[in-house]
Chains A and B, each alone.
Chain A
Amino acid sequence: MAQSSTSPDTRAAKSAAAPAAVVDNQQVLLSTLPPSRGQKRLALAIVLVLLAALCVTTLFATVPLGYLKAFIPAYATAVFVVSLITSALLFVQFYIVRSRALLTISAGYLFIALMTIPWALTFPDLFAETDRTSTIWGLLSRVWHLGFPLFVIGYALLKDEDASTRRQNSISFGVLAGAAIVVVVADAVIWLATTTSVLIPSALPLSMTFERSQTYWNGAILLLTFAALALLWSRRRSVLDLWLMVVMCGWLIELCLIVLVGHRYVVGWYAARVYSLISATIVLCIFLSETALLYARLARSIMEQNREREARLMTMDVLSASIAHEMNQPLASVATNADAGLRWLTRAKPDLDEVKSALEQIRSSAHRASGLITSIRAMIKKERRNRSPVDLNDLANEVLALVSGELQRQRVLVELHLDEHLPRPEGDRVQLQQVLINLITNAIEAMADSQRPRILRIRTAVDQPNRALIAVEDTGTGIDPENLHRIFNPLFTTKSDGMGMGLSICRSIVEGHHGRIWASAGAAGGTVFQLALPTE
Chain B
Amino acid sequence: MEAGSSHNGVAAFLLHTGDDHVSDAPIISIIDDDESVRSSLRSLVRSLGLDARTFASAEDFLHSSHHDDTTCLITDLQMPGLSGIELQRLLSVQGRRIPIIFITAFPEDRVRARAMEWGALGLLSKPFDCQRLVELIDKAIATGRRT
B118 at the A/B interface (Cβ < 8 Å)?
Answer: no
For B127, give its contact among A334, A347, A361 (CB under 8 Å): A334
A368 and B20 CA atoms in complex are apart in Å by 30
Q: Across the two chains, which residue of chain B brings its CB closest to A321?
A: B106
Q: Which of A122-130, A276-284, A322-330, A479-487 contacts B (4 or more CB under 8 A)?
A: A322-330
Report yes or no: B105 in contact with A354, Cβ–Cβ below 8 A. no
Q: Is the CB of A354 within 8 A of B126?
A: no
A335 touches B43 (CB 8 A): no
What's the minimum C-beta distance from A457 to chain B, rounded to whole angstroms? 42
| Among listed A75-83, A305-313, A338-346, interface-contacting one | A338-346
Tell me whether B130 and A336 are in contact (CB under 8 A). Answer: yes
Instruction: Please name all residues of chain A whose beta carbon is closer than 8 Å to the beta carbon of B34 when the two chains form the complex.
Output: 329, 333
How many residue pairs link A and B with beta carbons under 8 A? The number is 81
With the chains together, A343 CA to B130 CA distance in Å? 11
A399 within 8 A of B: no
Answer whether residue A15 sits at the interface, using C-beta atoms and an 8 A cutoff.
Answer: no
CB distance from B18 to the nearest CB of A (A): 8
Give the chain A neighbours of B130 by CB distance below 8 A: 335-336, 339-340
Complex Cα distance, B103 from A329, in Å, reads 11
Find chain A residues with CB under 8 A from B36 CB: 329-330, 333, 361, 364-365, 368
Interface size class of A (residues with CB under 8 A): 20 to 34
Nearest chain B CB to A100 CB, angstrom units: 60
Report whether B127 and A336 are in contact in the complex, using a CB–CB cutoff of 8 Å.
yes
| Residues of chain B in range 23-68 having any CB-CB distance to chain A below 8 Å | 34, 36-37, 39-41, 43-44, 46-48
Residue A332 is within 8 A (CB to CB) of chain B in the complex: yes
* A357: chain B residues within 8 A (beta carbon): 43
Residue A527 interfacial (CB < 8 Å) = no
CA distance A390 to B41 in the complex (A): 51
In the bound complex, residues from chain A placing their C-beta under 8 Å from that of B41 are 336
Contact of A337 among B43, B103, B128, B131 (CB under 8 A): B43
Q: For chain B, which range describes its interface: under 10, 10 to 19, 20 to 34, or 35 or more residues? A: 20 to 34
- Is B37 in contact with A332, judged by CB distance below 8 angstroms? yes
> Are A347's CB and B126's CB within 8 A?
no
* CB-based contact A331/B127 at 8 Å: yes
**A334-B20 Cα distance, complex, nearest whole Å:** 23
**Residues of chain A with a CB closer than 8 A to B48's CB:** 343
B43 touching A361, Cβ below 8 Å: yes
Q: How far, in whole Å, are A357 and B40 apart by their CA atoms in the complex?
A: 10
- A312 vs B43: C-alpha distance when bound (angstroms): 42
Complexed CA–CA distance, A332 and B130 (Å): 10
Q: Which residues of A contact B105 (CB under 8 A)?
A: 324-326, 328-329, 332
Cα–Cα distance between A368 and B47 once the two chains are bound (Å): 24
B32 vs chain A, min Cβ distance (A): 9
Determine if A358 is an interface residue (Cβ-Cβ < 8 Å).
yes
Produce 1/0 per residue, A64-102, CB < 8 A to B: 000000000000000000000000000000000000000
- Chain A residues closer than 8 Å to B37, beta-carbon distance: 329, 332-333, 336
Q: Mark A136-172, 1 if CB is under 8 A from B, else 0.
A: 0000000000000000000000000000000000000
Asked if B126 contacts A340 (CB within 8 A), the reply is: no
What separation, in Å, do the CA atoms of A333 and B130 have in the docked complex? 11
Task: Name the distance in Å between A192's Cβ and chain B's nearest Cβ.
Answer: 81
CA of A339 to CA of B134, assembled, Å: 11
Contacts of A358 in B (CB 8 A): 40, 43
Give bound CA distance, A364 to B34, whole Å.
Answer: 13
A351 at the interface (CB under 8 A from B): yes
Which residue of chain B has its CB nearest to the CB of A339? B130
Q: Which residue of A lies closest to B131 (CB)?
A: A339
B75 to chain A, nearest CB (A): 14
Q: How far apart sit A329 and B105, CA to CA, in the bound complex (Å)?
A: 7
- Bound-state CA distance A332–B76 (Å) is 12
Partner of A332, one of B40, B46, B78: B40
Residues in A neighbouring B78, C-beta threshold 8 A: 325
Known: A361-B36, A365-B40. 7 other contacts (CB 8 A): A325-B78, A325-B106, A332-B128, A337-B40, A337-B43, A340-B47, A358-B40
Q: 20 A-B pairs, CB-CB below 8 angstroms? A: A321-B106, A324-B105, A325-B78, A325-B106, A326-B105, A328-B105, A329-B126, A332-B40, A333-B39, A333-B40, A336-B41, A337-B43, A339-B131, A340-B46, A354-B46, A354-B47, A357-B43, A365-B36, A365-B40, A368-B36
- Top 4 A-B residue pairs of the complex, sorted by shortest distance between their CB atoms: A339-B130, A332-B126, A328-B105, A343-B47
